A and B are shown apart, each in its own frame.
Chain A
Amino acid sequence: MHMPLVVAALVAASLSAPAPIGVQDDGKPAVTRENIDKLVRHARTGSAVIRPQAADRLVSFGGPAAARLLELSGDSNADLAALGTSLVEVLGRFEDERLRAKLWPALDDSEFPWRPAASRSLGAAPLASERERFEAFLDDPIAPVRLAVLEALSKITEPTDERFLRQAVRQLSDDNDYVRRAAAELLDDRGHGRALLWLVEDLRRVDSYFDQATGEAARYAAMYALLDRGIEVEPYDPAAPATGDNGRAIDAIGRTVEARADAMEAKLPEPLRGLVPRELPTIARAGAQVKDAVLGLALKSCRRGDYFLRWTTGDVLVVGYGNPARIQLPEGTTERLAALSGKTLEAAGDRFYWGRPGCDMESFRVPGTKAKGGRPQMLILSKDEQPGSDLRPGALSVLGAAMAASIPAGDDLDAADPRTRELARRVRDAFASIGGPVEKAAGEGARR
């Protein structure tokens, strides 16, 4: 694999030790233009771990830092994007209406590369007058944006605000488990403790996306969220299967949560009781492991959202993780795609990585012999925040186009599950946003 030298140079420079920041007699950094600019530089080009810390430190500088960032943020969303995700993330914390006025157009712009950061920034100190603007993003295609606006709305509404409560209850059926857990915690904060049963269910999860331990991640997140709320989880062990003693421990936690919820609900005003459903929706239930997946496609787009697809030996398209949606495909679909993936591997030779380091990613998992232990071979394309895309090799585009073409469309499918609604179109859009339009590139790749 050969990374572009320019990227190597940039990253190597960013990994070098940070330049010292001048301090006052009391040990705190002096609020000087020089120090502000040094922190801005660290927040833009420092290593991944230093960027957010430098941005945090700028917030403590207050007005002078806000004024400098206002200058640097320019007149367009492109100028704002050039600040980088860490600085966009903190602009809202200055509580400066001029910076806020720059963040809203960025969130409105589906091509802005740092929309999750912009939404969290706006949500850090939200204004009651912005309620409807936040509500407009509750169905955003990007889960971190949905999560940020839900939390923002919780800050600007009264504990008994029924409109917000119903919005939070709706997000208990979100297709992203982080959003579901956040909704459950916000509802619990307002006395609707039954929502914590969503977290208890996550303690049972065993799912994974190939080697990605999605269920284990959910178990740890749910367990610590319950602990933070003073709910005893001993002797539950998130590292062990949810059977036997561990299964009984989860049952006991469930009973504790239900008893606690009953007591909390009795204190709620009558009209607000029973808002949280007694039954968990299918999407929030722990699903079985998918053991027969042959090929996978994970698309992570900061502009178009994330997709996790698997094709099984039984010609089933598995959509998502947790308790995923399943679509039966025509017989032979998986075998045909697997054969095509073999040609993709041959064409790729020794390469398995393309593009520029960044958070947009296309990750293909295909049956191959190169990966250790017979695991699927990963072929990865990643992309930074820069617009434009001609990054995907032709062979990968041919496979991507065939995968997208295998996703059925139809009214029945659309009605069945939000995860499968217009899935083929959304997957193509995500491809286009990351490595470029897949069909066009596939056509060119086939001609080459």
Chain B
Amino acid sequence: MPLPLVIFALAAVLVAPGLLSRTSEELRRWTVTQLENEEEEPDEDVVEVSILRLKNARYRRGRPLPGWVQDLEGRTIRLWGYMAIGTLEGLEKFELVPESCECGRSKVNHFVEVSLTDDVTRFIPGRITLTGVFHAGEEKEDGFITSLYRLSTPALPD
């Protein structure tokens, strides 16, 4: 991010407590800050993956996953998503979904099962970005597929 924008963003954060008594100008500046914070720092060792691409990957039960998904096996990836509504506190696993509500029924290719190795769940509303080790393939229990995509990550973002 260019230095002037960094300074502007810092300044905007410093004035943020004043947002409870906002003026139009403060609100305008706040919207600009939001957009700037959408950018993530690139990391060459981490593969950026769209959860929407995973969701749309052509998958049929029992058939091999597309090559580009298989190529991600064991790689460190970064992806965004939402904690499924209804995620409980204190668990080591949760479903990361591309939309904030998946209506109580998940298709196996529509979520990434996230395992937290050093943390437990707390519900975070809004989009989160996670970095972790990715695994793909049908995981079954009693013939039911319980997950297709899995991500192992130490902890939830602050």
Contacts and interface: CB of A to CB of B under 8 A. Distances in A.
B70 interface: no
Nearest to A116: B103
B50 A382 contact: no
Interface residues of B, number: 58
A52 B99 CA distance: 19
A220 B53 CA distance: 7
Interface string B130-158: 00000000000111111100000000011
A267 interface: no
Given A20-B142, A358-B104, A221 B56 contact: yes
A135 to B, nearest CB: 26
A21 B143 contact: yes
Interface string B88-101: 11000001001111
A294 B52 contact: no
Interface residues of A, number: 72
A375 B24 CA distance: 17
Contacts of A358: 85-86, 104
Given A21-B143, A224-B58, A359 B104 contact: yes
A346 B19 CA distance: 12
Interface string B18-45: 0111111001101101110110000000
A150 B146 CA distance: 32
Interface string A55-90: 001000000000000000000000000000110010
A49 B61 CA distance: 14
Contact of B85 (A51, A57, A357): A357
Given A48-B104, A48-B105, A375 B85 contact: no
A241 to B, nearest CB: 14
B126 A220 contact: no
B31 A294 contact: yes
Given A52-B105, A359-B103, A375 B141 contact: no
A17 interface: yes
A365 B112 CA distance: 25
Contacts of A20: 142
Given A292-B28, A359-B101, A361-B100, A342 B142 contact: no
A143 B122 CA distance: 32
A239 B56 CA distance: 13
B75 interface: no
Nearest to B113: A49
A42 B100 contact: no
Given A18-B142, A313-B27, A346 B20 contact: yes
Interface stretch (A194-202, A210-218, A271-279, A397-405): A210-218
Nearest to B30: A367
A335 B22 contact: yes
A15 B142 CA distance: 14
Contacts of B55: 220
Contacts of B143: 21, 29, 57
A369 B99 contact: no
A357 B158 CA distance: 23
A353 B31 contact: no
A212 B88 contact: no
A21 B16 contact: no
Nearest to A371: B126
Nearest to A311: B27
B86 to A, nearest CB: 3
A237 B4 CA distance: 31
A86 B28 contact: no
Contact of B88 (A11, A224, A363): A11
- Most chain A beta carbons < 10 A, residue from B9, B58, B85: B85
B101 A378 contact: no
Contacts of A12: 88
B144 A53 contact: yes
Contacts of A213: 52, 98
A218 B118 CA distance: 35
A29 B142 CA distance: 11
A35 B95 CA distance: 28
Given A49-B95, A211-B126, 9 more contacts: A3-B123, A51-B104, A85-B105, A224-B56, A238-B50, A335-B23, A339-B21, A363-B100, A368-B19
Nearest 8 Cβ contacts at the A-B interface: A357-B86, A373-B37, A359-B103, A378-B125, A342-B20, A211-B127, A374-B33, A48-B106
26 contacts: A1-B122, A1-B123, A18-B142, A21-B142, A42-B144, A51-B105, A52-B105, A54-B144, A85-B105, A89-B105, A212-B127, A220-B55, A238-B53, A291-B35, A293-B31, A302-B103, A339-B21, A346-B20, A352-B125, A353-B125, A361-B85, A361-B101, A367-B19, A374-B12, A380-B85, A384-B104
Interface of A: 1, 3, 7-8, 11-12, 17-21, 29, 42, 46-54, 57, 85-86, 89, 211-213, 216-217, 220-221, 223-224, 238-239, 291-294, 300, 302, 313, 334-335, 338-339, 342, 345-346, 352-353, 357-359, 361, 363, 367-369, 371-376, 378-380, 382, 384
Interface of B: 9, 12-13, 16-17, 19-24, 27-28, 30-31, 33-35, 37-38, 50, 52-53, 55-56, 58, 84-86, 88-89, 95, 98-108, 111, 122-123, 125-127, 141-147, 157-158
